[in-house]
Structure 1
Amino acid sequence: MLYILLSICCSIIVSVMLKLAKRYHIDVYQAVVWNYSMAVFLSWLFLKPKLVHLSGAPIVNYALLGLLLPSLFIVIGISIKQSGIVRTDIAQRLSLLIPIIAAFLLFGEHNSLLKSVGILTGFAAILCTIPWKTSGVVGKVGANAWLYLLMVFVGMGLIDVLFKQIAAFKAVTYGTSLFIVFVLAFAFSLAGLVYQVAAKKMKFSWPHILIGWVLGIANFGNILFYIKAHKALADKPSTVFSAMNIGVIVFGALIGLIIFKEKLSLLNKAGILIAIIAVVILSIS
């Protein structure tokens, strides 16, 4: 359970750093770019990629992930700024509904009554946590907050499907695939940074390299400890899955409500409880 707790902590640290970005005038894009440089280094150090026998590897999936990961990181940062940590974390965790639906719509997996109940419960949680109001009891949220939450939900779901597809390709180890994806994510995001600086649309900032490295350590730590938790509890994958997702929702809610004073309506608070129930049902199914 220590690995699960560490993974949860790393995930929350990423959310908190993105939440504090505006307060400390941090350019999220530049931080995200250097975050992936650290991810490349740490994945090489800890995952021991084997860059041989890559013929037939799912290159298209690698490229899509390389583009989606940094892009969604930016969207998550905007969503946290617009909607807060609580709602954004729930949108991320409930994105698991997309690969579950894809499993029996695209990959022929058998559906069950319990799984259907879990999916419907998850969608109910999403509807409850959307900031339907932009003022009043819900607190200060952006006018397009719901759109960014939707993008987080769909984007995380697509990324999960793509990762599941590359995990199914046994000729290349998962650690090697992760390393390649991080290299591509860094290359694509760095190219974007160079273009924006050259076009004078952005001013390069050296301190963002260090900020990005700290973000990268937390981001990679989330992945590494999650993998280690699955290895340590190989016979209890549902325990790891549910504990991780519920932990992030609960701790994220506590951080958002207590430290950042995020305001939620009664419907939003009910959504948190329903989200936890949905995760439990889906992990059992």
Structure 2
Amino acid sequence: MIYLLLSVLSSMAIFVLFKLFDKFKINTIQAIVVNYVTAFSCGFFFYEGTIEPEIANTNWFFAAIALGFLFIAIFNVMALTAQRNGLSVVSVASKMSVIIPILFGIIIYNESTGVLKIVGVILALVAVYLTSVKQKDDAVLTQSLYLPVILFLGSGIIDTSVNHFAPKNEMQLFLAVIFGMAGCIGFFILGYKAIKLKQYFQLKSVPFGIALGIVNYSSMYFLLKALHVDGFESSSVFTINNVAIVAFTTLTGLILFKEKISRKNWLGIIIAMVSIILVTLNDGN
């Protein structure tokens, strides 16, 4: 459970940093690219093995390359969805996508489907929805409906693929390749913005991007470590991790940024705690 806790705390730190981006007028895409470079560096720094030329022949290398493309593509879809459909739609679509890796674990890995787990997963989805929906958010589901659908599928595919392809003994290297590819694409985007749109790089994006990269890498690494712990199934790990992030991030917004929490949000937080207990009890049996 310690790895899950560290993953949740790292994800909460990502939320706090994004809030600070807005406060200090940080260019998000610039900080995101620095974040990928930092996360890439973390992967190589913490990898204790020897990097062989045959790395391209591993069964995970090209999957990691594809995931790098998907990481930055879904980030841009997330931004477009927020602009056209509202923040609530972004939160719900990205977090409800947890159902994809849950179903993958149950169907492909033949993981358990006990009553406690089924009830826990259903409650988790309800909790995610109730906790994510914010008041006074102009969500327009009928406008650009394809965007939240792409976000839902893309986020679910990322979680599922990272779990399926990540090598147990080369997690750091696997993550380094993903973040490295995303960073390369990010540099092309920054170059285009600088040449065509005259949007030049701001040095103040660097420290925020470095901080984001450290916690971003940590959230992924600790999640992968949790997925490889004996006694916990991937469907349970994804359920607990996802619903805990949503609930605790909402509470963090209340405590640190004085955000308003509606009765629906509080109900969602309570249901989230119940769902975590049920799923944990199921795997404890």
TM-score (norm 2): 0.75
- Encode CA deviations 1:61-90: one digit per residue, 9 max, x unaligned: 223310222334456678899548xx94x8
- Encode CA deviations 1:84-138: one digit per residue, 9 max, x unaligned: 8xx94x8666543211112344x2626624343333323323443453xxxxxx5
Say whether the 8 Å CA contact 2:36–2:183 is kept in structure 1. yes
Say whether the 8 Å CA contact 2:240–2:279 is kept in structure 1. no
Between the aligned partners of 2:178 and 2:45, the Cα distance in structure 1 is 15
- Encode CA deviations 1:196-238: one digit per residue, 9 max, x unaligned: 212126332222122211211121233344556678xx44546
107-116 or 70-79: which moved more? Answer: 70-79
Q: Secondary structure at the match of 1:139?
A: coil
Residue aligning to 2:262: 265
Residue aligning to 1:112: 113
- Structure 2, unaligned stretches of length 5 or more? none
Q: How does 1:245-284 map to 2 (within 5 A)?
A: 245=242, 247-283=244-280, 284=282
251-260 or 144-153: which moved more? Answer: 144-153
Q: How does 1:189-200 map to 2 (within 5 A)?
A: 189-200=186-197
Between the aligned partners of 2:81 and 2:267, the Cα distance in structure 1 is 20
Say whether the 8 Å CA contact 2:11–2:216 is kept in structure 1. yes
TM-score (norm 1): 0.75
10-19 or 257-266: which moved more? Answer: 257-266
Residue aligning to 1:160: 159
Deviation at 1:140, TM superposition (A): 3.3
Between the aligned partners of 2:21 and 2:4, the Cα distance in structure 1 is 26
Q: How does 1:35-184 map to 2 (within 5 A)?
A: 35-48=35-48, 50-54=51-55, 55-73=57-75, 83=87, 88=91, 95-105=97-107, 107=108, 109=110, 112-114=113-115, 115-129=117-131, 131=133, 138-144=134-140, 153-167=152-166, 173-184=170-181
Between the aligned partners of 2:206 and 2:132, the Cα distance in structure 1 is 34
Compared CA separation, residues 145 and 26, structure 1 to 2 (3 A): farther
Say whether the 8 Å CA contact 2:132–2:246 is kept in structure 1. no
Between the aligned partners of 1:75 and 1:25, the Cα distance in structure 2 is 21
Between the aligned partners of 2:101 and 2:223, the Cα distance in structure 1 is 18
Between the aligned partners of 2:10 and 2:111, the Cα distance in structure 1 is 34
Q: Secondary structure at the match of 2:54?
A: coil
Between the aligned partners of 1:186 and 1:208, the Cα distance in structure 2 is 15
Say whether the 8 Å CA contact 2:33–2:209 is kept in structure 1. yes
Compared CA separation, residues 46 and 76, structure 1 to 2 (3 A): farther
The one-letter code matched in structure 2 to 1:192 is I
Between the aligned partners of 1:281 and 1:78, the Cα distance in structure 2 is 36
The one-letter code matched in structure 2 to 1:33 is V
The one-letter code matched in structure 1 to 2:30 is Q
Between the aligned partners of 2:162 and 2:13, the Cα distance in structure 1 is 23
Deviation at 1:15, TM superposition (A): 0.5
Deviation at 1:273, TM superposition (A): 2.3
The one-letter code matched in structure 2 to 1:112 is T
Deviation at 1:257, TM superposition (A): 1.7
Structure 1 residue 8 and structure 2 residue 4: aligned? no
Q: Secondary structure at the match of 1:161?
A: helix
Compared CA separation, residues 130 and 177, structure 1 to 2 (3 A): closer
The one-letter code matched in structure 2 to 1:159 is I
Say whether the 8 Å CA contact 2:72–2:182 is kept in structure 1. yes
Say whether the 8 Å CA contact 1:95–1:154 is kept in structure 2. yes
Q: Secondary structure at the match of 2:110?
A: coil
Two-structure CA RMSD over aligned residues (Å): 3.7
